[in-house]
Every structure is written in structure tokens, then in C-alpha cells.
Amino acid sequence: EAQVTQNPRYLITVTGKKLTVTCSQNMNHEYMSWYRQDPGLGLRQIYYSMNVEVTDKGDVPEGYKVSRKEKRNFPLILESPSPNQTSLYFCASSLGSGFSGNTIYFGEGSWLTVV
């Protein structure tokens, strides 16, 4: 089954404690991306990757890092989480080395609370 898998799905952590949210897709997609969803703001892109070792900032990259060492994986790293990073996070993937209007497939989401 084609899917985008995120872990953890739910996490409560403390300010400053580094954490990683993993994302894996089994569709051989080149394009992957991270979004955060906040009430009244819709979904906003954090980072994206057009292929292995190719990543770039989205609209709200501050406080986040990503890496793309393998095609299927695109982890989101919060080096020093702060309460304003409390949010619902979605990983997404799409066919093609750049997003060009192909269908985006979202993971199930990761609820992150930073206290």
C-alpha cells in the first residue's frame, strides 16, 4: 500500500530537548516536504527536498533542520524545541523531482507539544 509514515504520532517534550520526527515514503517519490498546521493559518511549508541531498527552506524554516540522505526518508529535526513549535506536523511526498502540480500525499500527522 502506498503510504507516507510519520513517527512519533504524538509527543510531549520539554523546551530545549532535541527531537526528530521521522518520515518515510514507499512510493519512490523524489519530492518530499514538511508542513505545520496551526489554527487559522492553514498549512505552511517548513522545508522541502527535490531529491537526495537537495533540500531548501519553505516559508517557516526557523528552528528546524532536515536531511535527505536516502530517497525514502526525510526526517524533521528540532534542535532546541520551543513552545511556539507546538503544532501538528505533516510530512508529504509527490512524484517528480520538483513539485509541479502532481498529487501530494500526506502522512498521518505528528502532534507535537513543547512545554
Partner 1 sequence: GENVEQHPSTLSVQEGDSAVIKCTYSDSASNYFPWYKQELGKRPQLIIDIRSNVGEKKDQRIAVTLNKTAKHFSLHITETQPEDSAVYFCAASAPGAQKLVFGQGTRLTINP
Residues that bind partner 1 (CB under 8 A): 31, 33, 35, 40-45, 48, 50, 56, 58-59, 90, 98-101, 103-104, 106-109
Nearer to partner 1, 12 or 82 (CB): 12
Residues 6+ apart with CB under 8 A from 46: 33, 34, 35, 36, 58, 59, 60, 61, 64, 66, 76, 89
Least distance to partner 1, CB of residue 59, Å = 7
Least distance to partner 1, CB of residue 9, Å = 10
CA 78 to chain centre: 11
Nearer to partner 1, 14 or 54 (CB): 54
In the chain, the largest separation of any two C-alpha atoms, in whole Å, equals 38
Least distance to partner 1, CB of residue 82, Å = 23
Nearer to partner 1, 60 or 114 (CB): 60
Specify burial of residue 53 (Cβ count, 10 A radius: 0-12, 13-18, 19+). exposed
